[in-house]
Amino acid sequence: MKFTVEKENDNIYKIDITIPAKDAAKSYDEAVKRIAQYVNVDGFRKGKAPRSVIERQVGTERIKHEALDRLMPSAIAQAVRENNLDVITQPYITKFDFTLGQDLTVEVKVETRPEVVLGEYKDLKVDVESTEIPEDAFDKALQNILNQYSTLELVVDRAAKDTDIAVIDFEGFVNGEKIEGGDAKNYPLDLGHSNFIPGFAEQIAGKNIGDEFEIKVTFPENYHDDKLKGQPAIFKIKLNEIKERKVPELNDDFAQKVGPFKTVDELKADIQKYLDNQKETSDKQKSENAIFEKVVEAASVDIPQTMIDREAESLTNDYKQRIQAQGLSWDAVEKTEGSEKLADTIKEDARIRIKNSLVIGKIAQEENIKLEPADINAKLGQLSAAYGMSQADLMKQLGKNPEIITSLSQQALNDKVRDFLMQKNSVNFVKPKKQKVESK
């Protein structure tokens, strides 16, 4: 078997493979026997029809393709191995000359991994804006816990306050026409935390049970429904009930009720620990990202358009599935974002993902960072916990989707390389820059 390898352009290589006539003929004969096992030929039992009959029945071209399907994988693998080609896609046959009695010649094309030239990736010093816990974060967290255990009590002797829950009937109109889906009965609206149109909840405060009134609002210019953007609307309201939120008293009994705490001080300490852990996790994530971004920025790689197009197609399919899972239409998203702009954004995302992956692979190669069974098992453990199933059941499911295993392996390698970069580089935490407040 002979191989001739020629670089065509970018990272595309052409491999000319020559297989001796006797080996090609042997593969052809084996293909005839295989096909004979499942082809029905009148007057013959399966597998017993002679070669000439099988050739007339199915045609020699089909037999040749069957022979090539069995013969070429090992031949291509040998050619790739002997020429040290780092192939990243499935090789494909572009043409062949399969004449019995003569050497078989096959032209194959493969796409190899682009060459990555790393910049500095060790002994870097990176400034990272530290995560600041807002001054009111502790108070808000404590208040949220109190609110979770609050109760709602009916109010009958006063008007609604902006902190109440108002149970209302409402019906909306724009230009005298009823708004589709713009009505409800006995809807509980939290007046202090409303996600309705701005100005809606504020006009209910001060009203009494049984009051029937109208509210005038204007839909925002960025409203999701084009027909309603910027439109003035009138809502007919009836206030059925007023409910007041009663927050429990913060004492040791309450602390014991919400968790494994004996005192309020222990509850407060747990809240502070949670906030500190959030800061630590955020700082770690920021550090990893900052270091990795600097390493990737310093690296250079010429990414072929074919790679970007394939990755963009994969990303587009993922986005479509997510959009559909949310009950939305991909056509509507394209209309809102603009199809060309959306396509350009996806292609840029694809380019970034490819470069990140290539840089990670190059660093792993340079530093001899390899995956161990424990790395994959750790990822499988995380996935099984996320889906609430045993690792054995998870493996059965993954057996049907081998591409997920590939993805998990890539994630595990990403983690090891990022850990390596964290160990080999240093971070200097700085105070966040104050955002400028635009004057109106």
Asked whether residue 440 carries a pLDDT value surpassing 50, the answer given is no
Asked whether residue 127 carries a pLDDT value surpassing 50, the answer given is yes
Q: Is residue 436 part of a domain?
A: no
* CA–CA dist 108, 300 (Å, integer): 29
pLDDT computed for residue 435 by the predictor: 61
Query: Could you tell me which residues come within 8 angstroms of residue 385 by beta carbon, excluding any fewer than 6 positions away?
Result: none
Asked whether residue 300 carries a pLDDT value surpassing 80, the answer given is yes
β-pairing verdict for 12-19 and 177-190: unpaired
Q: Identify the residue with better confidence: 223 or 359.
A: 359
Mean pLDDT within 193-197: 90
- Using 50, 70 and 90 to split pLDDT, how confident is the model at 266? very high
Q: Which residues pair with 178 in a beta bridge?
A: 173
Mean pLDDT within 342-348: 93
Q: Is residue 440 part of a domain?
A: no
Are residues 224 and 274 located together in one domain of the fold? no
Are residues 228 and 302 located together in one domain of the fold? no
Are residues 346 and 381 located together in one domain of the fold? yes
Amino acid at 332: A
CATH at 240:
3.10.50.40
**In this structure, what token pair is assigned to residue 100?**
């019995």
Are residues 268 and 387 located together in one domain of the fold? yes
Domain stops at, among 246, 267, 282? 246
* CA–CA dist 204, 236 (Å, integer): 11
Are residues 324 and 388 located together in one domain of the fold? yes
Q: Identify the residue with better confidence: 403 or 183.
A: 183
**In this structure, what token pair is assigned to residue 237?**
């309201």
pLDDT above 70: percentage of residues in the chain: 98
Residue 262: give the domain boundaries.
258-430
Q: Identify the residue with better confidence: 337 or 96.
A: 96
Query: Could you tell me which residues come within 8 angstroms of residue 80 by beta carbon, excluding any fewer than 6 positions away?
Result: 15, 87, 91, 110
- Using 50, 70 and 90 to split pLDDT, how confident is the model at 401? confident
Are residues 221 and 328 located together in one domain of the fold? no
pLDDT computed for residue 437 by the predictor: 47
Q: Is residue 342 part of a domain?
A: yes
DSSP secondary-structure letter at 175?
A: T
Are residues 193 and 213 located together in one domain of the fold? yes
- Using 50, 70 and 90 to split pLDDT, how confident is the model at 125? very high
Residues 8-36 have pLDDT tens digits of: 877 889 999 999 999 999 999 999 888 88
- Using 50, 70 and 90 to split pLDDT, how confident is the model at 121? very high
Are residues 391 and 275 located together in one domain of the fold? yes
Q: Is residue 38 part of a domain?
A: yes
pLDDT computed for residue 439 by the predictor: 43
Residues 63-91 have pLDDT tens digits of: 999 999 989 999 999 999 998 888 888 89
pLDDT computed for residue 436 by the predictor: 55
Q: Is residue 193 part of a domain?
A: yes
Are residues 10 and 83 located together in one domain of the fold? yes
Domain stops at, among 246, 269, 289? 246
Q: Is residue 215 part of a domain?
A: yes
pLDDT computed for residue 415 by the predictor: 92
Domain stops at, among 246, 267, 300? 246
Mean pLDDT within 283-302: 95
**First-to-last CA distance in the chain?**
77
Are residues 407 and 285 located together in one domain of the fold? yes
* CA–CA dist 133, 281 (Å, integer): 12
CATH at 12:
3.30.70.1050
CATH at 379:
1.10.3120.10
Residues 406-421 have pLDDT tens digits of: 788 888 999 999 999 9
Are residues 267 and 395 located together in one domain of the fold? yes
Are residues 271 and 389 located together in one domain of the fold? yes
Counting the structural domains of the chain, the total is: 3
Q: Is residue 161 part of a domain?
A: yes
Q: Is residue 371 part of a domain?
A: yes
